[in-house]
Structure 1
């Protein structure tokens, strides 16, 4: 089954909601970066969120980047997404290993530790919009919930989860984002809070075979849920030899001349997909 994201509204457009299933996406990034279970869980959660947040953007060339810089052993993560839910990402330390948490689960919060979450929206303007908050738990869903409230002033509930098999394959991955629109009735707010307080963990819902539609129906079915859009989400890296050539050219004529004198080709590795590009001496000469 393909990974996808659904977008819906409820309570006469007072609530907007997103839900996704991302098992294939997270499995692919695990295989690309050979991540440990805890790194897979952290990166998978952030990529799931990025896919849903990417579909919130309006411009076809808009780009969303979620970046976490932290002092935990995972050291940091970077994920990007576009409005079509094409997502890519990497983790600085893919080999991080830690004992399970007190609840017997992957301890993503301890892997991240203290740090800063940056949400960068490049909408083709002179400068991108950058919002930042400190990590409140390192569990990523709570950190994004806090970001939406404090930086975007949008009351939100974010749930993200990655469930791993014992053989280090991804069993389930997905999440949801529920947001209140301005001037939402207090009665709607109270009813939604009550509903969310009793919802099962997202990995449990996915393990029970619930689809994104089922999950939103369980939360918002009593609010007149309407599904508006279904978008496929997938891992997609847009690196190319042309982009690499442009990046190398930007280092300047003097440095390129020095490299040519050494007589060795340049090898460039893409952080996101791991692909290697080699620029031979004659190609560097053409740049000059």
Structure 2
């Protein structure tokens, strides 16, 4: 399990969030069968999502999703995190690989390629606030710092690192985000810049000195003061970080309702059932013909067959948004007052 630390430095003028995520990234690598460079890309994005969740989310039920789309062989990736340290993610092409950089490091920028970064902050009400910026380098840390400045007006330094062993297993992974508060004195900024300029990279520090040691080097002369998280319900004074997906067998079965009854019957006849794979975590759910045939209480468009309504097992209902179907027909639902999004 990974961990997240929070604190202040520079006499309160710097807000600091740091994460150690080696176990988290290794689970993602194992679940998705990632190549070394794909592991580094997804590991950096997941770690970055955990850091930004601490900086940007206001309530426990909010979620932050990072989407990086590029023209490189990776195809793109998604990472989703909350403020409780839960994170999940996946890439489009798990086995994508490119040659190492001239300095011998994994070439995340090339495997991702030019493109864009979008960050979505999902509220409990269903509202989503989004910001999109072009990728600066594709190395992800620099791209996240650019996003924080362009979309959130937060001047920040972001460091991310993932190191894999020769066979592909994750050796160490983590990240640090330093947010500059308004009115920070010039001497604080100069000291931070000097410390950053003197770093050879984050992963060597994490390997040699652990997370606390890395913060000592990064924030030397700036008086880092760790936030006491025990008052927030974390007895170890750190937030556990873990790979945790929100999928379930119930949700996987509900996904089959988006197939027509005829298509579901074909699954039964041809395959003897159905198999649903979660993109986020790679979990496989298999369903018998009897389970599939329980999905009968649904309402579809008489013209195009689009799904309009179906009852969920928790007593709520899914219903189409808006008053018109995709084919233009007016949506007419029975018992509309009971339907919930």
Alignment TM-score > 0.5, same fold: yes
Contact 2:17 2:54 in 1 (8 A): no
What SS class does the counterpart of residue 159 from structure 1 fall into?
Answer: strand
Residue of structure 2 equivalent to 1:232:
240
| Matched-pair contact (CA < 8 Å) for 2:116–2:134 | yes
Q: Post-superposition shift, 1:92?
A: 0.8
Q: 1:280 aligns with which of 253, 263, 288?
A: 288
- For residues 184-239 of structure 1, give each alpha carbon's deviation from its aligned partner in whole angstroms, at most 9, with x where no partner exists: 2223222222222212310111222x222222222224222111141111111121
Q: RMSD over aligned Cα, in angstroms?
A: 1.6
Distance in 2, matches of 1:6 and 1:222, equals 19
Which position in structure 2 is the counterpart of 1:148?
148
CA contact (8 A) 1:19 1:215 kept: no
Cα deviation code 1:87-107 (max 9, x no counterpart): 111111111121111111111
- 1:134 is matched with 134
Which residue of the partner structure matches residue 65 of structure 1?
65
TM-score (norm 1): 0.92
Stretches of structure 2 lacking an aligned partner (at least 5 in a row): 230-237, 297-341
Quickly say closer, same or farther: Cα 1:263–1:190, change in 2 above 3 A.
Answer: closer
User: Aligned to 1:232, what secondary structure does the other structure show?
Assistant: strand
Closer, same or farther: CA 90–12 of 1 in aligned 2, 3 Å? same
Quote the Cα distance in structure 1 between the aligned partners of 2:291 and 2:169.
41
Gaps of 5+ in 1: none
Mapped to 1, the partners of 2:17 and 2:292 lie a distance apart of 47
Q: Deviations over 1:151-204 (max 9, x none)?
A: 111011111111111122111111111110122222322222222221231011
State the aligned residue count.
282
Q: Distance in 1 between matches of 2:265 and 2:217?
A: 66
User: 1:186-197 to 2 correspondence within 5 Å?
Assistant: 186-197=186-197
Q: Which moved more, 1:224-233 or 1:35-44?
A: 224-233
TM-score scaled by structure 2?
Answer: 0.79
Residue 175 of structure 1: aligned partner: 175
| Distance (whole Å) between structure 2 residues aligned to residue 174 and residue 261 of structure 1 | 47
